[in-house]
Amino acid sequence: MKRILLIALFLKWVAILAAQSTYSKSIDLEGDANNGFSIKVVDDGYILLAGSADISSSAEYTSIVHTNFVGEVIWQKHYKNEPWRIVPPPISNAGIVLMENDSIYISGNIEKNGNPFDVFLMKSDADGDSVWVRTYGGAFDDSNLKVIYHTDSTLLFLNSLRLSNSVNDFIIWLMETDLEGNVLWEKTFDGGYAVTSPRDILLLESGDFLVSYTTCEFSGLCNPDNPQSVAITRFDKYGEEIWTKEVAYFEDSYIASPVVEVLDNGGALVSFYRMNFEEGWEYPPILIWIDSLGNVVNQYDFSPDTERYIRDLHKTSSGTIIGVGYADMLELGLGGWVFAMSQEGELLWSRDINDLRYSEKWGRFNAVQESENGGLIITGFIIDTIDNVPSSFNQNIWLVKLDSTGCLEPDCGEVQVISSSIESEKTTESKPFRIYPNPVSGKNCLLERNPAFASNQKLDIEITDSLGRIIWQKRATSDPAVQLETSQFKHGIYLVRIEDSEGRILQTEKLVIP
């Protein structure tokens, strides 16, 4: 009996350690392109909602993926509407609701028989098998932005209703259904603006809800010649307006992606970014704090050090606000961005992350949740060509698990890069040197000799830049450790090559100077 108990405790310990591990994984589904839009934590892992595409047939469809805590796929289901499209909402952490009875509700947009897009709601069982599908919409292209659990027996939709085929002729469309998809009430709202473009919906404890949206003063295209604002409206639980407030106003740039998250004091945090049309890049994102009446009480402007934007905000159980999105990491590619903000407006930490095992160096974070162990689980997409013909298009779901401070490894810096090859991750005993920290987090890094190699073996160490130029070398060294002064190096990626006395290459590894 004791032996059985010890085995059970050991297996439980192994499961806990596995759940606590951090990782960066590229999940390749059956399509050519997959993008993780939403993620939910369940008892045995994660449920991901993804948009998928088959380039050869031009098919676009919706996928659900169930993984365990270490990112291994348990099952995947694909919902197709060929030759027409069925796609998830283009908004992060939207379009999926998990119920206590293990039912899964999925919303999005469906094209039927070549007609304009309608909103769809699908109910599936715990294994992702479809039970039924309902559709809603008018004569023109309509769009679902989000569905949320409203009451014990209802779902609340944030939609965009198009009134004509004219450019930007749409308004906010709110809808509540029961759990069988029957419409209980519908409301439309324009806030008195020529154009209202809904983005996010946030449920409050009272059953009221906030809707964030962008506006344009004049009909037609929303561009820098058409003044725009970010607005928030509070509705009661039946969709009646309580108040509307503009929280930001600009006359010189396009505003996008106002995302909201509730605060403990009854207010909310709003994020958005602005597009610089003339230069073709985004201004730094902005965070705005509002009180329970919609009044602006604080603002945080991120540094213009590089191009970045926010895709999702999430409040953890400790009350910390986590944001994720995209960052231009310059020589390190286009990567994921994650940051932590206190509810009072203090930036706690910020991390840029990219996985350079995939040569395109192009990824993005879309959605974040607090993981089962108090860390962070993030999804998005990464361009992965490691198992395919170079330069072929293969966009995969990016699943990244971090600790509670946004690190893949303890005490990480502002830039984290996964640079080891898949093969080199499997074994380290054959490497003559361990290089750390890598990426470098100070003025020096250390090359420490592996005890498995003879201590008197003379080795050549050479470091080259991205153009193949030798910038540092040490010949015929048998030192147990070599300290490398990196403050003289420019930011970028370098190649460390180690050879024996006969010129045989024993180790090549990327060295990242953030």
Tell whether the torsion through CA atoms of 489, 493, 499 and 503 is positive or negative: negative
- At 254 the pLDDT is 66
Give me the mean pLDDT over the 206-213 stretch. 95
Residue 435 counted as domain residue: yes
Closest CA to 404 of 355, 356, 364, 348: 348
Question: Is residue 397 within 8 Å of 35, Cβ to Cβ?
Answer: yes
DSSP H helix total and E strand total for the chain: 2, 38
Residue 418 counted as domain residue: no
| Residues 280-307 pLDDT 10s | 677 889 999 999 999 999 999 998 777 8
Residue 460 counted as domain residue: yes
* Residues 84, 79: Cα–Cα separation, whole Å: 11
Q: Please check the confidence at residue 327 and state whether its pLDDT lies above 50.
A: yes
Residue 456 counted as domain residue: yes
Question: Is residue 438 within 8 Å of 428, Cβ to Cβ?
Answer: no
Q: Please check the confidence at residue 265 and state whether its pLDDT lies above 80.
A: yes
Q: What is the pTM of this model?
A: 0.78
- At 478 the pLDDT is 85
Amino acid sitting at position 287 = L
Residue 507 counted as domain residue: yes
Paired tokens of 468: 């193949």
* DSSP one-letter code for 239: S
Residue 70 counted as domain residue: no
| Residues 122-172 pLDDT 10s | 999 999 999 999 999 988 899 999 999 999 999 999 999 988 887 678 899
- At 241 the pLDDT is 97
- At 157 the pLDDT is 98
How many distinct structural domains can be found in the chain?
A: 1
| Residues 9-27 pLDDT 10s | 344 434 444 445 899 999 9
| Residues 444-462 pLDDT 10s | 888 888 876 666 788 889 8
SS (H, E, C) 39-77: EEEECCEEEEEEEEEECCCCEEEEEEEEECCCCCEEEEE
Residue 470 counted as domain residue: yes
Strand pairing class (268-276; 444-449) = unpaired
* Residues 452, 119: Cα–Cα separation, whole Å: 62
Tell whether the torsion through CA atoms of 136, 138, 140 and 143 is positive or negative: negative
* Residues 204, 97: Cα–Cα separation, whole Å: 17
- At 390 the pLDDT is 46
Least confident of 244-248, 272-276, 321-325: 272-276
Output the domain CATH number for residue 501: 2.60.40.3080
Secondary structure element (H or E) that encloses residue 97, with its range? strand 96-98
Domain residue limits at 450:
423-513
Residue 432 counted as domain residue: yes
